[in-house]
Structure formats: C-alpha cells, structure tokens
Amino acid sequence: MSGLLLQAVVSGLLLGGVYGLVASGLTLIFGVLRIINFAHGAVMMLGMYASYWLWVWLGVDPYLSVLLTAPAFFVLGMGIQRLVIEPNRQAAEHNQLLLTLGLALFLENLALVLWQGDFRTLRVPYANASFVIGDALVEVSRLVAAGGAVLIALALFVFLRRTDVGKAIRALAEEREGAMLVGIDVARIRSVAFGIGSACVAVAGALITPFFYIAPDVGESFNLMAFVVVVLGGMGNFIGALLGGLIVGLAESLGAALLPGSLKQLVVFVIFVLVLLFRPEGLFGGARGR
Amino acid sequence: MSLLELRGLGKRFGGLTAVTGLDLAIEPGEIVGLIGPNGAGKTTVFHLVAGYHRPTSGTIRFKDASIVGLKPHAICRRGLARTFQLVQPFAGLTAVENVMVGAFNRERDTAAARRHAEEILDLVGLGGKRSVPARELTLSDRKRLEMARGLATGPDLLLLDEVMSGLNPTEIEAMVGLIRAIHGRGITLLIIEHVMRAVMTLSHRLVVLHHGENIAEGPPAAVARDRRVIEAYLGEEDGAA
Amino acid sequence: MAGRALGALAAAALVAAPPLLPKYSLEILISILFFAYLGLAWNILGGYAGQFSFGHAAFFGIGAYTSTLLLLRAGVSPWLGMLAGGALAAAFGLFEGYLSFRYGLRGPYFSLVTLAFAEMLRVVSVNAKAVGASLGLVVPTGTPAPLLFVFGGKLPYYYVILAMTGLALLITGAVARGRLGYALIAVRENEDAAEAAGVNALGSKLAAMALSSFLTALGGTFYAQYFAYIDPTITFGPAISIQGLLPAIVGGAGTVLGPLLGSFVLTPISELTRAMLRGRAGADIMLYGLILVLVISFLPQGLMGWRRAVRRSAR
C-alpha cells in the first residue's frame, strides 16, 4: 500500500474512533428519547473548553480532566433534559428538533460571547510525540484519543448490558410501553440517557484537545459527522455507531488524500444522502427510521 | 362492461397470503356487500383496488382500463373513492374544509369547491356543522364526514369500509338511509360490513371472502343459507381468535 | 373590520414613512423586511407543506451566485439574473424534493438531507476557483445604475425589498386560500387520507418546494446587490438557513402573516442586542437560540397561534 494511502487509513481509523464515541452518545440519546439532538456538537465544544480551562488555570492534563468533566457534563446533560426537553416531550417532532437547534445556537454563541471566536490550542508537553508504522506517521495523542474513545464506548456497552440502569435504558429504547409497565421510572431514565450521551461527547472533546483546535464552532462539523455516523450505523444501534464512526473516518480521510482542497467533506455528505435515500435503517439496522 | 373487474387478484405479504385468486365484477348501479370473517382480506381488497398496495398477481380494471400501479390520487380522479376502516379526518380543518379537499377534484376555484362541499355536507346530514373542527365531531359524524369527502370527489364507485362499526342502532338506521340516498344519486357501491342486518337489506348481491378467497356469491338470502358461508363464520367463532 | 384597517394603515406607513426616516432606522427596516421575505419563502414549504428544511441556504446561495456570476462574467443585469437564479434554484429544489419525497424522507430525516445538500454546495463553492472560492465575489456597486440593480442610496433598496415582501405575502395568501393550500394542509395532516381524496401528495409537495426555493433565490440576489459581497459561508452556510426560518417559527408557521410578524419581533431584538453589546459577536444569535427554545416551549404555534388562542378564549 502506498505511503499516502496507508497514512490516510491510519489517520482515518484514529479519528474514526473519536467519531464513534461522539456518535455513540448521539445514538443513545436517539434510541431512548427518539430525538435527533442538534445540540450534541455544542456540548462537545463545551467539554473541550472545560478541559482547556482546566489546563490553563489549574494545569490539569486533558486526559485526566475527564475525571472532572465527565460527571459534570453528566449532570449538565441531565439538567438540560429535565428543564428543556422533557417538558416538551409531547410536542410535534419538528418542534423537538427546533428545540435542540435552539439549544445549539444558544450554547455555541454563549461560548462565542464568553471566549471570542479565536482558535485556541492546548499544548501539552507530549503533543508532538509520534512513532512510525511502515510509511505512516502515528501521533501518540491521536492514538490515545482513538484508544480512549473505543475503551469508553466499550465500557458503555458493558454498562448497558450488565447494570440495572443500563438494562432499563435498553428496555426503554426497545419497548417503551413495556418498560413503563414493569415499573421503570422512564422520566429518570430519559434524563440519565441524555446525561450519559452528554458525558460521552464531552469526554470525546477532552480526548482530542491535544491535537484539535478549540473554538465555539468546532462542534458544528462534529455534529454533522455524528449525524452521518448515526444514520449510517443505524439509529439507536450502538455497535453500528462505533463501526460507522470508523467507516466515516476512513471515508473522510481517503477523500482528503484523493481529492483536492476540502472536498473530502463531499465524500461524507454523498454517503449520507445515499444512505438516507436507499438504506435509512442504516448498514447495520436500527430503530424505525424515516 | 363492468364498472370494476377483478380477475385472479392476489396479494402476498412475505409469507402471508391475504388475497388469492379473487374474481369479482361490479356492475354500474349495484350495491355489492363484501362480507366474511375477520382477517378474510376484505380491507386488503380495498387497499389493492384503491392503489395503496400493489397486487402480487391478477388484474384490476376500472371503467375498462387497468388501474394497477396507479397512485391512489390518480385512481380517485378516475372516479373511484373510498373510506377507511379507522376514520381519517383532517383533524385541524373544519368539516367543510375537509370536504373541500375532495371537492377540489371537481372544481378549480375555492368558492366553487366550497359550494360543492356545502351541498355534499347537507346531503350527509352535516349541514349544520360546517364550521366545526373535525376533531370535535362525534364518531358517527366523522364517518359521515369521511363519506362526504369521498362523495365530493364525484365518484362513480364508492368503497365503504365498515361505516357502521361503532354505531348504535339508531345511527345504523340513519346510515342505511344515507347509503340509499347516495345510491339514488347514481353511485355504485361496494360495501364491507359486519353489521349483517344492514348489509343484507342494502345489498343487491353479496360476496363472501374467507382466507382471501371468494367462497360464495349471490343474492343475500341465498348466500345466508350457503353451507360454506355458515361454516366459515362458525369456524371463526369456534377456534380462531 | 379593525384588522383590515390596521393592516391598510401599516401598509401605508411602510410605503410612505421611509423617506422621512433616519438612515439607521431605514437599515433596520430593510433588515426586517429581508428576513420577513426569507421567512415567507421558507414558510410555503415549512409551514404549509410541513416539510422543515434546514438547508434553504442552498437556494439562497444559488440565487446569489447565479445573478452575480452572470453579471461579472456576462454583463447580464441582476434583474434578469435574479430570474435565472430563481429558475436554477427551483430546479435544484425539485431535484432535492423529488429524491427526498419519492424515497419517503420525512420529519427530521428530511431536515438532515436538506442540511447535507446545502453543505455540499458550500464545500463545492469553497473549492471552486471559478466562483471565487472562499474569497467570494464582490459586486460592483460604485456607480449607481438602476438597470443593473445598483442604487445610490438605501431608499430604493428598501422599496425593492418592500415590493418583494408584498409579492411573497400575495403568493402565500393565494396558495393558502387556494387549491394548493388545501392540498398541502391535507397532506401535512394525513397523507394517506389526502391521496384517497384525490390529492397528489408528491406533486403538491414538489410544487411547494419549487415555489419556496424560487422565492428564496430571489432573496439571495437582493442580498448580493445590497451588501455587494458574497462568499460560500454567507450564502450557503447554516446561518442564513436558520435566520430564514426563525421568523416563520416565532411568528407562526403555516400562517400568512406569521413570518412578517416574527421578523418585526426578532430583527429589532437582534439589532438592539448587537448595538448594546458592541464587540460581543454572537450575543444576538445567542438570544435567538433562547427565544427559539422559549417559543417552542410556550408558544409552539408562534405569535399568530397565541393570538388565535387569545381570541378564542375571549369569545
């Protein structure tokens, strides 16, 4: 395999792992609440800023910052769900969509007002560490991000399978009325699911701060990617989100290698449109789409 | 030439055969009752004729032209209207606005459509409820509204799917009268009904469906005595839920 | 009726008052009408057909780029270029619409697809040197030339956008009261029942899409001529998509006056916020986000819906 292509594959898989974690949170939220959370990227952005400020003010390493940001964003997510989303649970579908859009606008621009639009970078001492596989350069920070993302996603997977709360979440996602009938506190589970989804995406943000720029609009592109991944993997399909993330990461990366300029994004969008039209339930099957 | 002609009509959903080898001809001016135990495939026949499902086999000819593959609205424009088993009003619109949607098939401008809709509403006995939002109407009125909407499209053939279900005896009487009035305007009717009394009095001819097949056909009195029909209904009472 | 008299008075004021207004007020008024116009255009597809597009920027951008490129490369007057842009946008809208509706994309999935298409156009423009790439295009507005849609002062631009808004109102009214309006509402409420009543669901939605995209594109040309500069982010970016639909949602989607009312409420708030918090970019949009959340939560039918509810309970 030519050096360029190998590099593209490596980069794609590494970033794809992060996409997978971001998408896992989104697909969890969709599976349980049946809403497409437009504010997902904004929460990720806030998570990145949180890690950034912890580093700048207290010198907390971004990887360690997740110990603080994950629970904080879990609570924030639960709060948002309880305050804004839950009261509008019965609203028309398009209105719920606009609700999360409004949230996204609010959060993104709040960040803009507070911290201005300048790009910031988080420079850790080991930022440039890297090694070589064949002809490809692997940055340690990207490897850690991908590894961390996959680990957390797998931990989430185990959580959903083994714990009572996890099983309740899956029950609600699969069979809402049945879940209510067996006495599951569905309102609380909805909050928890949104909280977990938010925590996941905030952690994903923390993981990429060593090599990704931080700005109020950074969430927007991840948002779109996450939608593509979730649709590709199947709405509500957890493993699908992970695999979808890898596929999208690869596609984007190969697109960057083969196409000039920023046309790589086109590859992802074309995949998106094709999947929506011809296989809306996703490659791996998901909850009832359309 | 029959108004509606079904030949060898069949529909399979995956492994389930809903309708099979159905032959049926409806002549202009008839009232034909389509009866049979639950799950016999009656509503499926309506869906096939009205264009909501594509038949897996057989032909459907309306006014001597095949309508297989046409979209429901195109079939409606040719003069075939239908009602739904579970009434489907446009909840947010008033009664007259509901009917106007159908009336626009015959009239180009809004004022004419409104006049036409009001006339139809009077026919079905909802004249006094023109401006009532559909969601506030009683079940009986909603059924009339649905029929009105179908009538407004100016059909030659009207398919009625269990319009009597959920009605009390007085309402059933009134509905029988309404159906007769509709027939009096020259509209041919194919009626699915479980209320035996009503369908017996109304129909010129009965067609009995069982497991998707036409097992008996003829004047109501004869069909009622037909041994196969009795067995089909009794069999349902005995075993199948 | 009091309502009609009030409306006539307002219309008269909008026509007669502006020459007397200070420049700043005139600018705000132009903004208000501009976003009202975009909202009205979006409303035909979003409010009446019930298909919430988050990617109307696609049509806006097609309009802006078409007329500007025709002007810069072939000397075609933007008055004509406007129509060409509109036609192209309508064609693109029909393409998008056909794909989406034919394959049964509804609700959020339709919204996402429209977003994707707008983004695709943005990415293509950013990478296409022929259309100026990310540097964008400058519209020559040095010397006034009314035939080339270039005016000396702001006042003529005001009357243009006033006329466009008036046109959009008339078109919306005609659609709402006519056959297409009834068809769209029926399809929105219950597509199967609508088909059974003889309504061509696909055809109706496509008609709404074509009309909506055509009108939106005209707005793109206006923007290009008024602000004299366009680039991929401004024209194809999500900002213009969102700013176009907000007035309709806040004012009341699916009503004729909703987008107009919504813009008269939102735009001044945005202008005021930006004036008060000078240098704090994003404050106005942040407020928009908050307003959107509040409106959805407490006034889901928008201001027009609230007015209807108030009148009903007053009876």
DSSP bridge partners of C210: none
| A144 in C contact zone (CB under 8 Å) | no
Asked if A99's CB is within 8 angstroms of C105's CB, the reply is no
Q: What is the pLDDT of residue A180?
A: 83
The terminus-to-terminus CA distance of chain B in angstroms comes to: 40
Selected residues 162-221 of chain C with any CB under 8 Å from a CB in chain B: 177-179, 182-183, 185-186, 189-190, 192-202
Residues 6+ apart with CB under 8 A from A57: none
Q: Per-residue DSSP letters for A210-240?
A: TTS-B-TTHHHHHHHHHHHHHHHH-TT-HHH
Which strands make up the sheet holding B16-26, listed edge to edge? B16-26, B4-13, B57-62, B65-66
List CB contacts (< 8 A) between A272 and chain C.
Answer: 112-113, 116
Residue C155 Cα, gap to closest chain A Cα (Å):
33
Res. B16 pLDDT band, cuts 50 70 90:
confident
Q: Rg of chain B's alpha carbons, rounded to an integer?
A: 18
Average pLDDT, chain B: 91
List CB contacts (< 8 A) between B76 and chain C.
Answer: 195-198
Asked if C194's CB is within 8 angstroms of B92's CB, the reply is no
Contact A230/A216 with Cβ under 8 angstroms? no
List CB contacts (< 8 A) between B89 and chain C.
Answer: 190, 193
Contact A102/C293 with Cβ under 8 angstroms? yes
Strand B80-82 to B157-161 pairing: parallel
Residue spans of beta strands (DSSP E) within A134-176: 136-139
Instruction: Identify the segments of chain C with pLDDT beneath 50.
Output: none
In terms of CA atoms, which chain A residue is nearest residue C300? A95
Strand A136-139 to B4-13 pairing: unpaired
Q: How far apart are CA B73 and CA B89, in angstroms?
A: 16
At least 3 CB pairs under 8 A between chains A and C: yes
Res. B241 pLDDT band, cuts 50 70 90:
very low
List CB contacts (< 8 A) between B109 and chain C.
Answer: 178-179
| C104 in B contact zone (CB under 8 Å) | no
Torsion of CA B196, B202, B205, B207, to 10 degrees: -40
| Closest-CA residue to C213 (of C42, C99, C68) | C42
Contact B19/B212 with Cβ under 8 angstroms? yes
Residues 6+ apart with CB under 8 A from A2: A135
Which value does ipTM take for this structure?
0.90
Phi, psi for residue B161 in degrees, rounded to 5: -105, 100
Q: What is the pLDDT of residue B62?
A: 95
Residue A148 Cα, gap to closest chain C Cα (Å):
29
Res. B235 pLDDT band, cuts 50 70 90:
low
Residue C74 Cα, gap to closest chain B Cα (Å):
43
Token reading at C180: 């297409």
Asked if A216's CB is within 8 angstroms of C282's CB, the reply is yes
- Summarised one tens digit per residue, pLDDT across range C46-68 is 999 999 999 999 999 999 999 99
Asked if C281's CB is within 8 angstroms of A110's CB, the reply is no
Q: What is the pLDDT of residue A137?
A: 86
Query: Which chains form contacts with chain B, at 3 or more CB pairs under 8 Å?
Result: C
Q: What is the pLDDT of residue B236?
A: 55
Contact A121/C304 with Cβ under 8 angstroms? no
Q: What is the pLDDT of residue C274?
A: 84
User: Does an H or E element contain A202, and which?
Assistant: helix A186-208
Closest Cβ opposite residue B105 in set C193, C198, C201:
C198
Q: How far apart are CA C136 and CA B128, in angstroms?
A: 62
Contact C258/C251 with Cβ under 8 angstroms? yes
DSSP bridge partners of B61: B5, B66
Q: What is the pLDDT of residue C16?
A: 87
Spell out the alpha helix ranges (H) of C103-200.
107-127, 154-177, 179-189, 191-196
| Closest-CA residue to A224 (of C154, B35, C122) | C122
Percent helix, strand and coil across chain B, each rounded to 5? 40, 25, 35
Residue whose pair of structure tokens reads 């309402």 in the numeric block: B171
At least 3 CB pairs under 8 A between chains A and B: no
Instruction: Identify the segments of chain A with pLDDT beneath 70.
Output: 1, 286-290
Contact B209/B40 with Cβ under 8 angstroms? yes
Q: What is the pLDDT of residue A224?
A: 87
Residues 6+ apart with CB under 8 A from A269: A228, C116, C117, C119, C120, C123
Residue C253 Cα, gap to closest chain A Cα (Å):
11
Supply the pTM of this predicted model.
0.91
pLDDT-above-70 percentage for chain C = 99
Q: How far apart are CA A262 and CA A30, in angstroms?
A: 30
Whole-Å CA distances, A168 to A24, A153, A172, A190, C230? 17, 18, 6, 10, 51
